[in-house]
Structures are given as structure tokens and as C-alpha cells.
Structure 1
């Protein structure tokens, strides 16, 4: 890269970053923010306009004199998808380049569905989400899929004990083909943790443990605000340790009636339901406390389908964690519930677009 092209790239990055931060800005404002001359800023904006990433905003009506030219970032120039492929559902979030979700699409899927059927359901749901929003499929710049199991850095599922035929699936590669764009894949609990740190319950925390609780339990870890998937993508898979008892605890909780009924009965003060929730909370706390003792996080976030239980689950869980941990962190419920995984996929896809496409 020549000195001139490198300088142009640096100037473009600075101008685009400043414009995205401001929303709308004049040439003078952008010059002050970037330290670049008015002439340089204007040249960069012309180039970004040709790419379709920047638009000139008409002056407000009634403004006297010659108004300053204002520019805005075109968040609709491209889109990203976050996809949650679960045991019973496919959930897709379509977002613009500012991360604002403009459409959701949900499809039920059989827990026993084979890999090909599940992948086809995910593809159809992703297409329906984009088409239903009136967005061109060619405007999708990145897709990120979240799923249970261990997902390596290439986006391949290296081990899944929940979804039939899922081990070995090149999830990132297949997802990229849906829209002929970059495909990404990650563990669902990791993506949920990312979503909570981005816009949810963990926005102001640096080191976070996220425990996804539903038909199964899993955990995601953020250290210094960044995902910590580990060497093979298996960080946080403490439920794989049989002695922790997470799998048995989840099965025991719903052995006689659905979880929603148990939590509702506990909320109403039924002794049997309260005892069942307390046993579940104690087993959940054993695995969570192991992660807390290893990482010493700022915050523990409880998410997934069972997070809807609220204080019915949170109260006994906090009590058991206090007994098990040297210094228990604050424990909160997820902001987004079962939408966290798809939103985390949006964030990871945006990270790729900002780094590789927008060059921020």
C-alpha cells in the first residue's frame, strides 16, 4: 500500500467513524472531530457517497440564509442477521448497520429434527425475515448463527450433545451461502453474553459470566468486555462435568409438569413448587459458583427461557451462591430473555462488518 492510499484510508476511517458517532454532522463539525481540513473531509464524503454509505441531508424547512451542508451515515446501506438455532425454534433478527433491529422472524422446529431439516428451516426463516422486511437479499453483508454445543473459531460445530447430527456441521460456511456473504457461528451462551454486554444487563460490567438456563444449561464468558471462547471454543461448558449436575437438575425440574407451571406455582406460594425451584437453584449455583470462583466476575447474568421466572428463581439462586462463593458477584436477570442469542449474533456480525467492510 502506497503512502497516499494509506493516508486516504486513515482519513476515510476517521471521517466515517466520526459521522457514525454523531449521526448527523456538518463539514465543520467533522473537521473539528477528525482534525482534518474541510477540503479533505469533503473529498472523503464524496467517495463515501459514491459507495452508498453516506447521504447529504436536506436542510430543515424555514432555515434562513445559506444552511451548512449536513451529512449522515446510511445505516440502511447494508444489513446483518443474527440467527438462533435452538432445539425447538429458529429465531432471526435483521438489523441495519447501526445495529437497530428492523425485523424478527420465528419458526418452530422439532427437537428431533435432523441436521439437514434444521438447516433448511434456518435458511427459510432467514429468507422470510429479510423478504418480509422489504430488504434486498444482496444487502445482507454478514450472517452470524448461534447454537448449542462447542463451536470452533472457523464456525464449525465440533461437538453437540443436544441437536441430532449437528456435530461436524460447518455452520458458518453454510450460513454464508444463504446470502452469498460472510458467515459466522458461535456458541449460543457466548452470543447471549455479548448481547447483554452490548445493550443489556451487563453494559457496565467488564468481566461477566452468563448462564443460559432452559431445557439445558450452558455458560458464556466475557473477560475485559471480550468473548472468551477458549482454545477450542469450549470455555464455559462446565455443564459437561457430570458432578455439577446441571443436566439432571433441568430434567428433574420438569419431571412432573412444565417449568412455566412450576415457576407460576412457586410465585403463588405453593410449597412443593418452591421446594422444586430451590433444588434447581442449588444445583445451578454449584456450576455457576465454580465459574465465579475461577473468574471472579463483576456480574453474573441469568438468561434463557427460564429467566422469565424472575425473582422466583433469582432469590434462591443468590442465597445458594452466597453460601458457595468466597465473594458472590451481583446476580441479575437477562434483559432480552430468549432473544439474547440472536441479538448477540447481530453484534458479532456487525463487528465483522465494521472491521472488514467499513474498516473501522
Structure 2
């Protein structure tokens, strides 16, 4: 019986096509010569595979640039067709949802959102997510058949197959049938992932974590949650629980999973409950409940009460980051979420304390992505799906 090669010509063509798409999707216009240098493939292979990708709609061939002093035929010029389809990045948070429509380079085309303030049942939350999806797509002028995939982030453990671990009351707020309902309604695959995992994908792609493969993103708003990347690879664990921080209930000086915003807000409310306490927080909050942002503002103005609150918050956050440093030994921890920008003043004390808690303290920074961190990661998650399955997808939104 004749031997069968493990790398058959069709398989080699797929591998080569993926390699070329990977280069073109992150570059501008490239010549055949440039692609040869970037991929190590032969000229014949580059041209043959590019012809395939042009026929499928993934690549555009541009008119050659003629150089009168050059000898021979001008080089062929190729460009990734970023308008060949679209992806969605959907952040389903505890308080609101944000939907981003992006082209295949990850550039935002439109954005929409909904508040969950009046939501009582998980299914109502899904209805609002769908409304935001419809609005964002309408603003972008994009139909369902032009969308290739959507990345969806929720604040619950999600395993490698996209299933929610609904063992906790907080996690049961999220509709386990969310992605199935979106797919049934719109026809495109909805790819569920944990919000902190998407945050680390977003930071690694477009944020402070670019070029850092041993990375942790600490979502630190209402609850602490972490996304973990080791050698450039997301860590899920057996049931999607890697990075979940319920263990903080056992950590001395922490005791629960409450994040920076919640701790700052509750400590400020307690201080304001005593009429004898003098603080500018009274003026900043007025008749409304005090916010974490107002605590940071008051501290910047030199308010003693606010500064004492943030000192406690900084010590507590340092302990949380130290546990991540001991367990996972990342090179960088990025504090993300709505409080990221406001948390910058905490960094010096956090870094000073870290050196006393662990012999391998990571560098700590705040995210530059703000409250888009999860939706940016959701776009990246959808693009990963596109790149991995490009040769099996049928494009309907070709823009030549």
C-alpha cells in the first residue's frame, strides 16, 4: 500500500493561505516580493495562493506601480480586503451592554448600547442586547449576511466550548441561551467568552499589553476578575474557572471579591453617614449617592477622608495583585475597567507594597482602553475565529 503524505497539497495550500492572510491582515499594501520575504514562501506559491484568496474575496489586487527605470514586469500588489465582511464585539456587563461593529481589520464602524437598570430576568437582558445589536448594525449599514461572527463577553466563567458555568447566583444573571438566541435570530455564530478573558485579548492586541505574552488583566470595578495569558495563550481551566477570584475570600486583608469602585464607594458612604466627618465628598455628591470617581476627585484635591479611603483601597489591591503574581508570575498586570484611568494615583503605593508581598512582583499599569476593554477583546475574539476559518467561509460583503 503506498504511503500517504501527512501534508497533502490541499493541506499545504491551506497552511500557506493562512500564513499569507495573517501577514496581509496586519499590513498595508504588499508586493509579491514583500510577501515572499515575510512568509518564506516561493514566488510561485505566493502568486498561486493570492489568486485563490482573490477569488474568495479575502484579498484585492491593486494596479501595479510602473517604474520606468526598472527592468521587466512590475511587481503585483496585494491588499487585505478589510471590507469583505464585518464582526461584532458584544460586552454584556452587569449594568449595561455595549455592541461594536468592526471591519476585518478591527476598525470600529459603529457602536450602540443599552442599560440594564430595569432588568429583572436574564431573558430581558438578552432582549436588550439584541436591540443594541440591531441599532449598531443599522448605524453601520450592515446586514446580518455581511456579519461573519460576533464575540460575546459575560462576567461568568465560560469553558473552552463556550458554555457558562452557572453555579453562582451572580453568574445566573446571564442567560445561558444568550448566544443560541442571537445565532437563531441573526444567523451568524455568537462566540461566548468570559469578559476578563476578552479584556486580556484586547489589551494584548490594542492596549498596554502589546508584545507581552505573560499577561494578566485585572477587572477591578464592582468585582475583581482576571484574564490570564501565558506565553500568548489564554488560560481557561477545566471548566472555565481559571482567573475567577472567589479565593480572595480566603486572603488575609482582602476577604471578598469586591472591586476598587465598590470598596471606595461603600467606604465613602459610611464616612458620610457620620455628620461629624468633614469632607469635600459632601459637596461633590450633593443629594445623590457618592461615587468612586468622586472619591478619587476628592483625594486629588487633598481631602483627608478620601485619601485615607484610597490608602486602604491601594493596600487591598496590592494584596490582590500579589496573589496573581505568586500564582501565575506574569510580567505585567493591567488594571482595567471603568475605574482604570482614575486608579493611576494608586500605582506607586501598589508597586511599593508588591515588593514586600512577593519576590517576583509584576509591573503594574492601568489600561488605556477604558470601558471599551471587553468589547475590543470581543472584536479580537471574533477576528480570531475569522482567521482560523477563513478558507471555509463564504463572503457576502465583498467590497472591491
TM (norm. structure 1) is 0.89
Secondary structure at 1:177 match in 2: helix
How do residues 195-234 of structure 1 correspond to structure 2 at under 5 angstroms?
195-234=202-241
> How far off its partner does 1:19 sit?
3.5
How do residues 1-360 of structure 1 correspond to structure 2 at under 5 angstroms?
3-31=8-36, 33-34=38-39, 40-58=45-63, 68-110=75-117, 112-159=119-166, 160-162=168-170, 165-166=173-174, 169-243=176-250, 244-247=254-257, 251-255=262-266, 256=269, 257-358=290-391
Structure 2: 5+ residue stretches without partners: 1-5, 270-289, 393-400
Secondary structure at 1:310 match in 2: helix
Alpha-carbon distance in 2 for matches of 1:14, 1:295: 31
> How far off its partner does 1:334 sit?
0.7
> How far off its partner does 1:337 sit?
1.6
Structure 1 residues 4 and 249 mapped into 2: Cα distance closer, same or farther (>3 Å)? closer
Structure 1 residues 216 and 2 mapped into 2: Cα distance closer, same or farther (>3 Å)? closer
CA contact (8 A) 2:204 2:210 kept: yes
Secondary structure at 2:180 match in 1: helix
Structure 1 residues 76 and 273 mapped into 2: Cα distance closer, same or farther (>3 Å)? same
Alpha-carbon distance in 2 for matches of 1:188, 1:291: 18
Alpha-carbon distance in 2 for matches of 1:354, 1:51: 14
Alpha-carbon distance in 1 for matches of 2:57, 2:265: 52
Alpha-carbon distance in 1 for matches of 2:42, 2:334: 46
Structure 1 residues 245 and 140 mapped into 2: Cα distance closer, same or farther (>3 Å)? same
> How far off its partner does 1:59 sit?
5.0
Structure 1 residues 35 and 249 mapped into 2: Cα distance closer, same or farther (>3 Å)? closer
Q: Greater strand share, 1 or 2?
A: 1
User: Structure 1 residues 177-186 or 339-348, which shifts more?
Assistant: 177-186
> How far off its partner does 1:71 sit?
2.3
Please, what is the CA RMSD of the aligned residues?
2.8
Secondary structure at 2:106 match in 1: coil
CA contact (8 A) 2:156 2:164 kept: yes
**Greater RCO between the two (CA within 8 Å, min separation 6)?**
2
Structure 1 residues 108 and 183 mapped into 2: Cα distance closer, same or farther (>3 Å)? same
Structure 1 residues 313 and 25 mapped into 2: Cα distance closer, same or farther (>3 Å)? same
Q: Which structure has the larger Rg over C-alpha atoms?
A: 2
- Could you give the per-residue CA deviations for residues 279-328 of structure 1, whole angstroms, max 9, x where no partner exists? 12222222221111111210111111111213223233323323322232
- Could you give the per-residue CA deviations for residues 319-349 of structure 1, whole angstroms, max 9, x where no partner exists? 3323322232111001202111111111111
CA contact (8 A) 1:239 1:246 kept: yes
Secondary structure at 1:321 match in 2: helix
Residue correspondences, number: 358
Alpha-carbon distance in 2 for matches of 1:16, 1:182: 21
Secondary structure at 2:25 match in 1: helix
> How far off its partner does 1:99 sit?
2.0
Secondary structure at 1:254 match in 2: helix
Alpha-carbon distance in 1 for matches of 2:22, 2:341: 38
Secondary structure at 2:192 match in 1: strand
Structure 1: 5+ residue stretches without partners: none
